[in-house]
């Protein structure tokens, strides 16, 4: 079945550091890929998405590129802020999987001032 694997956290960075959170996936079909973010005490919200190979999703300075050849969708940001501290989830949705959305385990990010 479909699955998502992302790097374990927590990740601790200083403000203005470069962020990478790795994500790889397994899917039987041709999935859409997502990054969701969860701030403390809240539900998840969509950060960005990509629907086909080589697409780049971007939002709020975050970017991720759909790499079909490596089955990856790594999240990057050039300069993190304290307000980026949250849990980040990589996810996929696949027609072959019945259109349900499957999430990775989540990676907690702490950004220090």
What tokens were used for 35?
A: 């990054």
**What are the Cα distances from residue 9, in Å, to 6, 59, 100?**
9, 22, 25
Other Cβ atoms closer than 10 A to 31: 27
Alpha-carbon span 3 to 82, nearest angstrom = 30
Minimum Å gap between C-beta 5 and other proteins is 11
- Considering the complex, what minimum distance in angstroms separates the CB of residue 73 from other proteins? 13
Residue 23: CB minimum distance to other proteins, A: 13
Nearer to other proteins by Cβ, of 17 and 101: the residue is: 101
Of 55 and 63, CB closest to other proteins:
55
DSSP character at residue 82: G
Interface residues with other proteins (CB under 8 A) are: 31-32, 34, 36, 41-46, 49, 51, 89, 93-95, 98-106
């Amino acid at each position: 079945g479909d699955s998502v694997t992302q790097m374990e956290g927590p990740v601790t960075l200083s403000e203005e550091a470069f962020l990478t959170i790795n994500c790889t996936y397994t899917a039987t079909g041709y999935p859409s890929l997502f990054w969701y973010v969860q701030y403390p005490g809240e539900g998840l919200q969509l950060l960005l998405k990509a629907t086909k190979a080589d697409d780049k999703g971007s939002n709020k300075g975050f970017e991720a590129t759909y790499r079909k050849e490596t089955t990856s969708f790594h999240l990057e940001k050039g300069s993190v802020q304290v307000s980026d501290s949250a849990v980040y989830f990589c996810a996929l949705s696949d027609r072959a999987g019945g259109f349900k959305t499957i999430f990775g385990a989540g990676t907690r990010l702490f950004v220090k001032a």
